[in-house]
Amino acid sequence: MSSDDEPYTKNGNSRKLYDQALTEHYPGLAERLPFRDITTLGDLPRRDLSAIQRICDHEAKFAEVISVIIVSDPCANPSDQQCALTLRSVFGQCYRAVELILPDQFANLAPRDRVPIGIDLASYPMDPNSAMKSFQTASSLARAEIIVPLRLGDRLAVDALYRLKCAEIEDPSAPFFYSDIVSEDENHRLHSPLWHANWDWILMAQTDATKGMLGLRRGALSAIRSQEWLFEIDSKEKATTYRDLCWSLALKLSTDTSYSEPCHIAHLSYIETTDGISTRTDTLRPRSMLDKTEKQSSEQGPMHEILRQYISSLGLDLSIEKHPDCQRYTLVSSSEFNPRISIVIPNRDGAGLLANALDSILNTNYHNLQIIIVDDASTDSETYKLYDLLLSKQSQVKVEVIETNESAFNYSRLINLGRKLVDGEYMVTMNNDVELISRDTLHMITGLASLPKTGVVGTRLLYEDLTIQHVGVALGINRFSGHYMNGKQMSERASDDIARNVHRASATTGALQVFRTDVFDAVGGYDEERFPVAFNDVDFCLRVGELGLQVLIDTRPIVFHYEGKTRGNEHGNHYRFNSWVREEAAFAQRWGGKLVSDPFYPRIRETLLSWQSNQQS
């Protein structure tokens, strides 16, 4: 790496080098130096920073004003130094055309004789108890098309507004834009970077998946500014915070059908200061300590009402409850939805595994079931004894067995054969080494499968040691596709806490899938010619996606997957390995254009390693 490509470091002894580089690369910016701070640069190389500055200086489309509104969080108390750094991060932007709107109380932090050329100042009377009401007042003063709220104490990366403008030029129909975010400790060390994915409407009903820099389109804001309820949900008992403000605005703007989906800016553009800022996310006592009346009252807090309105506007048959950690909400499916479900289970020998899987199904509280076992040339007598027992047993659950004598294992063909006997509105594929622990698993996953525009629903699957086996399949990892967060703990908080929240994915494993039977028929089922063993489940999900339907991962039920106990590892023998290679080539040929990256799971490992490397430079 040449010296021109080296990123700026954040050590105190780098300040001299930093100032020298600014003077060298940006003559005429000397008046900005007092307002710049080394930690606003992140990992941006000098050459890139210089190129960005030239673009902002010479291209007319980067001369349009962006409004930045400083919002004080009523539940935070940043230090004077943190407040000053917030302003420095705005004054030091590569993007020059900025309108800064700040509270009257903090106007003295930005003396007009020291404000850089190109930045206009305005002030507004802040509401000390409501970030929402403060923003409503300030946004009415903004004259730019793009408005950026910024919490007092936090900062923008030096190229944040430039990245925002690039995204706005590329996607002129998005109602708002959101960036990735990184935290900072008291020693100005950056840590815990959070990379978001593309817009995820169902994840947003549980947690703020747009946390970071927001670029709000003024036209979209005008449409909701008249909805006074959004700004009047404060109560004397609980003030609305900056997090409430940003989360609620993102939810409301995303439901405007005159705009496209919100646009993600894959860049660490927002620096969240954690030291000295202890925002109270909830002032309520634990639910276990509340009586019924208090519980009902607690559920009517600011974000609960906004989330309820959001879910209602999407036409979802779901309700929400606040999670005990008070940082997120959980989705509750309707218990009245009881369609016919047909479960197709391929099986070869393994009577013990199959019996365990069947017991777990029968132990659920779902009875409108049909179970179809597709036998793949079993030779174990115990397996046939189990079949005889199932077929002779009279119960509410209908069990059928299809026997095959295929010369070679073809999982796709087994699923397609099972479809011929399906009489349910919904169809489930389930491996014989899967165990449903939660009694309401089938209610939950079928409820999600019934949601508008939903094609396939999978679940989080766990190993016996309670680590994650599957919480979704991403494209562009493990060569072409693979399970993400494999081997991680359920408490893993990476990527918007998707290990614990229902979320969108590109695909889900066929070990446990649920979908409407007509969706399966619409894409012609599993591809048994190209993908007899591998990639068939991912290929199926991608073809469903081409119908305009989505894949959801339900993390609410507890489900175990004793992976590979029937067939073993695909790379374990010569024949299976060769079959894998052929199917891998077929998968790459069909979906090559989609395998560069995944829209719903950031390439965290590669990005994190790159980011950490730059931090250590």
109-141 exposure pattern, b = at least 16 Cβ within 10 A, e = fewer: bbeeeebbeebeeebbebbebbbbbbbbbbbee
Residue 279 belongs to a domain? no
Does one domain contain both 33 and 179? yes
Residue 467 belongs to a domain? yes
Q: Which domain holds residue 43?
A: 3-273
CA distances from 269 to 3, 52, 264, 610 (A): 24, 14, 11, 16
At a CB cut-off of 8 Å and minimum separation 6, what does 221 contact? 139, 147, 249, 253
DSSP state of 592: G
Query: What is the pLDDT, as a whole number, of residue 557?
Result: 96
Residue 309 belongs to a domain? yes
Give the residue-averaged pLDDT of 18-39: 39
Residue 282 belongs to a domain? no
Does one domain contain both 191 and 261? yes
Query: What is the pLDDT, as a whole number, of residue 576?
Result: 63
Q: Of 532, 509, 510, nearest to 582 (Cα)?
A: 532
Structural domains counted in the chain: 3
Model confidence pTM above 0.75: yes
Residue 587 belongs to a domain? yes
pLDDT at 217 over 80: yes
Q: Range with the lowest mean pLDDT among 191-205, 381-395, 442-456, 563-577?
A: 563-577
Does one domain contain both 326 and 346? no
536 φ/ψ angles, rounded to the nearest 5 degrees: -65, -40
Rounded distance between C-alpha atoms, residue 548 and residue 75, angstroms: 42
383 φ/ψ angles, rounded to the nearest 5 degrees: -65, -45
Rounded distance between C-alpha atoms, residue 602 and residue 200, angstroms: 13
Residue 376: strand, helix, or coil: strand
Residue 611 belongs to a domain? no
pLDDT at 615 over 60: no
Residue 219's CATH number: 3.90.550.10
Q: Of 521, 526, 528, nearest to 538 (Cα)?
A: 526
Give the residue-averaged pLDDT of 193-204: 92
Query: What is the pLDDT, as a whole number, of residue 186?
Result: 77
- The three-state DSSP-derived secondary structure of 90-151 is HHCCCCCCEEEEEEHHHHHHCCHHHCCCCEEEEEECCCCCEHHHHHHHHHCCCCCCEEEEEE
Query: What is the pLDDT, as a whole number, of residue 492?
Result: 83
Does one domain contain both 375 and 255? no
Last residue of a domain, one of 227, 250, 273: 273
Query: What is the pLDDT, as a whole number, of residue 187?
Result: 76
Does one domain contain both 327 and 234? no
Question: Residue 471 corresponds to which tokens in the numbers above?
Answer: 């919480």
pLDDT at 188 over 50: yes
Band of residue 570 on the pLDDT scale cut at 50, 70, 90: very low
Does one domain contain both 97 and 214? yes
Percent of the chain with pLDDT over 70: 80
Q: How many CB atoms lie within 10 A of CB 37?
A: 20
pLDDT at 614 over 80: no
pLDDT at 236 over 80: no
Does one domain contain both 30 and 162? yes
CA distances from 32 to 19, 23, 26 (A): 10, 10, 10
Q: Of 104, 74, 68, 98, nearest to 86 (Cα)?
A: 68
Does one domain contain both 260 and 301? no
Query: What is the pLDDT, as a whole number, of residue 443?
Result: 94
User: Mean pLDDT, the chain, as a whole number?
Assistant: 82
Residue 89: strand, helix, or coil: helix
Band of residue 289 on the pLDDT scale cut at 50, 70, 90: very low
Label the pairing between strands 146-151 and 214-217: antiparallel
Does one domain contain both 304 and 386? no
Last residue of a domain, one of 242, 273, 304: 273
Q: When comparing pLDDT for 289 and 315, which is higher? A: 315
Query: What is the pLDDT, as a whole number, of residue 135?
Result: 93
Residue 297 belongs to a domain? yes
Does one domain contain both 321 and 360? no
Residue 617 belongs to a domain? no
Band of residue 20 on the pLDDT scale cut at 50, 70, 90: very low
For CA atoms 78, 80, 81, 85, give the dihedral sign. Answer: positive
Query: What is the pLDDT, as a whole number, of residue 151?
Result: 95
Q: When comparing pLDDT for 325 and 597, which is higher? A: 597
In contact, 94 and 62? CB cutoff 8 Å: no
Does one domain contain both 382 and 455? yes
Does one domain contain both 259 and 304? no
Rounded distance between C-alpha atoms, residue 32 and residue 309, angstroms: 45
